[in-house]
Amino acid sequence: MNDNHDAPNRTTTERRSDLELVVTRLFDAPPRLVSEAWTRAELFIQWWAPKSMGVPLRSCEMDVRVGGGYRLEFGHDAESAMAFFGQYLEVVPGERLVWTNAEDGDAPVTTVTFADQGGKTLLVLRELYPSKAALDGAIAGMPEVTAEQFEQLDALLASQGVRMTEH
Amino acid sequence: MVQHLPARLDASFAALSDATRRGIVEQLGAGDASITDLAARFGMTLTGIKKHVGVLEQAGLVTTAKVGRVRTCSFGRGGLAEEAAWIEHYRQLWAARFDELDNVVAALKHRESSDERQS
């Protein structure tokens, strides 16, 4: 967990309150350029779904102005695609973006700020959940995965039981 | 907008490749037990059971808490460990994203500086 600890461009994450997660990262370019990569779909699509995420971003549409919408679709094909969408609440070019995540009632509102630090950019991303229960749920849950893990464990134990009775 | 995660499954399956450890998990699924209880139930030494419980603990399948002289084992992750693991996973997602973003930003910077040279 402490790999890269001294790297200047380390990404940090923190639960800052009952409702809020905060991510920070320094970029070696001015805010004008860093923010451009968040507001132009053809750039955004190049980095939002890194390989390690395991699912590619199939499409990305964004209408970056107050009240404008965005829509992201992840997946290997149209049938299995998962959509994420919402609306921009604040748009201050080169400084600040705020958007909703409307695919889920418990999803957070995301705020990204780009602060100039002598030609570099300190990026701060905040995810503000509607309630403590919503953030606790996101954390405790990873519900699908825990359920999946336990299902596979059940199957494993069951198959073990079968083998034992067969002998 | 989306967190993807598996990873932990590997450790779980490795931990469950052993029949005694599967037995311990089944036992704890029915209720908490102390190391001493488990040793008696599986006819093993305390040291042997502790070793198995340690493997299960590392895989996030079992948590233990020591109260006085008794170490109690439970099925599942504790709240704090769960949260720390989740936050670290969340960090890794953003770190991977931002490493990609570095490349995009570097390309924009390069484009800009070559535009300047031309004008």
* pLDDT of the residue at B11: 66
What is the pTM (predicted TM-score) of this model?
Answer: 0.65
Three-class SS state of B70 = strand
* pLDDT of the residue at B48: 95
Query: Where does the pLDDT of residue A77 fall: very low under 50, low under 70, confident under 90, or very high at 90 and above?
Result: confident
- pLDDT at residue A60 tops 80: yes
Interface test mutation site (partner A, options B20, B75, B83, B101, max chain A beta carbons within 10 A): B101
* pLDDT of the residue at A141: 56
pLDDT tens for each residue of B99-117: 999 999 999 999 988 887 7
CB atoms within 10 A of CB A17: 12
Which residue bears the tokens 């309150």?
A: A17
Which one of A11, A14, A157 has the shortest CB-CB distance to B98? A11
- pLDDT at residue B52 tops 70: yes
Q: Identify whether the C-beta of residue B5 lies closer than 8 Å to the C-beta of residue A145.
A: yes
Q: Which residue has the higher pLDDT, A136 or A18?
A: A18
- pLDDT at residue B55 tops 70: yes
- pLDDT at residue A8 tops 70: no
In B80-119, the residues whose Cβ lies within 8 Å of chain A are 82-83, 86-88, 90-106, 108-109, 112
Which residue bears the tokens 């070019």?
A: A93
* pLDDT of the residue at A165: 42
Q: Identify whether the C-beta of residue B90 lies closer than 8 Å to the C-beta of residue A21.
A: yes
ipTM of the complex: 0.78
Three-class SS state of B16 = coil
Query: Where does the pLDDT of residue B74 fall: very low under 50, low under 70, confident under 90, or very high at 90 and above?
Result: confident
Q: Does B31 touch chain A (CB under 8 A)?
A: no
State both tokens at B38: 């488990």
Q: Identify whether the C-beta of residue A68 lies closer than 8 Å to the C-beta of residue A58.
A: no
Q: Identify whether the C-beta of residue B77 lies closer than 8 Å to the C-beta of residue B63.
A: yes
CB atoms within 10 A of CB A21: 24
